């Protein structure tokens, strides 16, 4: 039995030795992998920084080459806005179909309401207003915005009312609209 114990101890010692060397080898491989990962992370960070710098340089170069075009575009847009605003204010003078007295500037969302014939009514030349016109001034390629289109559609569909509100005639908190 002693030989058997002795043999068992020898086998265990060999297994421990093998395990020890395998563990050392695994530890070395793990350390190498960790060092490799650290190196890869550093390379990746360096690559990211280089890429960011390169794109920043390209963007700066693009800005320099496009600055003139950007400035020209900005000036053109500014001129169009100023032209549009001036045209809005000069429209009553330029439109010969209506009297200057008939225009009422609102500005937003529609530029003008024209009470066609209001000037003649107030001057005593007539007893009625011929029509009411909602007018928006557009220059260049500008178009009606969504709100303006909905107002136009509402008017075309006849969804227009005339109401009178008199707060002195409110009853029980209810508004009196005639």
- The pLDDT tens digits along the chain (178 residues) read 567 777 777 777 788 788 777 788 788 888 878 887 888 888 888 889 989 999 999 988 888 888 888 889 999 889 888 888 888 888 899 998 999 999 999 989 999 999 999 999 999 999 999 999 999 999 888 899 999 999 999 999 999 999 888 888 877 666 666 6
DSSP secondary structure code for residue 125 in this structure = S
Q: Which residues pair with 105 in a beta bridge?
A: 112
CA-nearest of 147, 152, 148 to 133 is: 152
Q: How far apart are CA 70 and CA 17, in angstroms?
A: 75
pTM over 0.75: no
Question: 112 and 66 in contact (C-beta within 8 Å)?
Answer: no
Q: Which residues pair with 135 in a beta bridge?
A: 112
| Exposure class string for 3-31: b at 16+ Cβ within 10 A, else e | eeeeeeeeeeeeeeeeeeeeeeeeeeeee
Return the residue matching tokens 């289109």.
149
∠ Cα 103 117 177 (to 5°): 80
* End-to-end C-alpha distance for the chain, whole angstroms: 120
DSSP secondary structure code for residue 111 in this structure = S
User: CB atoms < 10 A from the CB of 121, how many?
Assistant: 16
CA torsion sign for 161, 166, 169, 174 is: positive
């Amino acid at each position: 039995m002693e030989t058997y114990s002795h043999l068992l101890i020898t086998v265990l010692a060999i297994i421990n030795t093998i395990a020890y060397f395998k563990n050392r080898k695994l530890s070395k491989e793990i350390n190498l992998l960790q060092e490799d990962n650290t190196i890869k992370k550093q390379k990746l960070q360096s690559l990211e920084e280089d890429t960011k710098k390169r794109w920043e340089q390209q963007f700066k170069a693009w800005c320099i080459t496009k600055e003139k075009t950007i400035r020209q575009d900005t000036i053109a847009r500014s001129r169009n806005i100023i032209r549009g605003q001036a045209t809005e204010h000069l429209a009553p003078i330029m439109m010969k179909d209506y009297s200057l007295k008939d225009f009422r500037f609102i500005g937003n969302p529609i530029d003008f309401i024209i009470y066609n014939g209001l000037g003649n009514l107030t001057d005593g030349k007539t007893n009625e207003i011929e029509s009411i016109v909602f007018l928006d001034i557009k220059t260049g390629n500008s178009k009606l915005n969504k709100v303006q289109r909905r107002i136009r559609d509402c008017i075309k569909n006849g969804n227009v009312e005339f109401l009178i509100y008199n707060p002195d005639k409110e009853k029980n908190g209810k508004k009196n609209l005639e």
